[in-house]
A and B are shown apart, each in its own frame.
Chain A
């Protein structure tokens, strides 16, 4: 599903990623971990097209996204969900309206939106909360809305950048359980985190970064990498 070959990402002052090669199987759940500044977020930004690699090749589902034009990015992102630590929700809009944004963008008809939004809210445990404004929700609830928005289009890949970073222990576990459930439905999930406790509780392969280099977990168990 995801294949990176010798990816380098350089900024003016430093190299954020150095010669990173990774292989993630379809339907796999993987952690991207390492200390702050190790390159976790840069890795995710490359995957959803917010940054371009300085060199190297990135294949997502067989498509070389490292050479994608800006005009092609929307098509990539419609097949990919992204969740952030700060949720990125519109607080003056309702839960349903926030989730529906991802469907409106692809031109889904109103009746389809009315059907799919409650269904996906049911998956993340927010059934019946459609009309609540997201601005008044708790952190855990906000992250569930963000996850609902990210998966409402049934994306092949879900990227989560420190999704539990703003949540307390119990809420973090709930969010991880939701991500795990989404993965069990067949979605490839990449979670950037440095929460060792969560990784121990939900054990999956870890792509460990140190100072921009991948130092562990490059290939799936038994894979070629």
Chain B
């Protein structure tokens, strides 16, 4: 096993420029895939965050006393699907309205602060934010007869869920296309590089080398180029993530979850490295075998 590695290293040393071209193309392909994955992962996080941020606003009937309102809050806080619940009294609602919309102040003075109903602002636990689960939760509130209206933006929740589904599907389709394009690009480059070394292949054939003897070092070279190319690509992606994208995030405060603009998860990073190594190996194997078939 030592000789093929020795020959692979000699090949890389003798054809440093060609090896750099291969590595560069693999790096570019993985950066392309990685940027795309970065966008998809973060878009999914954003949309998923929208779903998790959905609140249920339950407005009390005017007939419900302050004591009953407080009791309702305690009762809801004890339910398994509820993450947090906050009681917003008439006064708090009026104060909020005056702060956000000062122009309605005179109207509130005239109507009295009780014009705005008291409400419970409910945040649900993960797993209870699907449209169906929220429908069930809202219906259970209505059944108590204490609330005049239960609002949770059903349409918004459905849109977010639909958008996430579309995004996931689109992500998978575009991902496959991108991987195909990357394979094509790397495969053709390695094919040209093998062609540039055709004299070596021809001589090896003439002196009685078997296909395995000829192909193995090229495959090792392909694997090493894939490994180095992917590591360089991941470093570049991390720099992009930390630098440009973080600044973009600061400049345009989007609705990210608590983790902020996240990097690719570990599994995906390993996957990108494996795609790069696999591409290098496969492209080298196919290119050399194709060339050897022509040589006879």
Contacts and interface: CB of A to CB of B under 8 A. Distances in A.
Contact of A88 (B203, B213, B296): B203
Contacts, number: 45
B34 to A, nearest CB: 35
Contacts of A102: 207-208
Interface string A15-58: 00000000000000000000000000000000011110000000
B203 A90 contact: yes
Given A74-B210, A92-B14, A101 B199 contact: no
Interface-central residue, A51, A73, A89, by most chain B CB under 10 Å? A73
B254 interface: no
A48 B14 contact: no
A83 B207 CA distance: 11
A49 B200 contact: no
Contacts of A105: 204, 207-209, 213
Nearest to A98: B203
A178 to B, nearest CB: 19
The DSSP consensus for interface residues of chain B is helix
A90 B200 contact: yes
B111 interface: no
A149 interface: yes
B296 A51 contact: yes
| Shortest Cβ-Cβ A-B pairs, 6 listed | A78-B208, A77-B208, A102-B207, A74-B208, A105-B209, A74-B210
Given A49-B296, A74-B209, A92-B14, 6 more contacts: A77-B207, A90-B199, A93-B14, A101-B203, A105-B209, A106-B208
15 contacts: A48-B206, A49-B296, A50-B296, A73-B296, A74-B210, A77-B205, A77-B206, A78-B208, A88-B202, A90-B200, A101-B204, A102-B208, A105-B207, A105-B213, A149-B207
Interface of A: 48-51, 70-71, 73-78, 82, 88-90, 92-93, 101-102, 104-107, 149
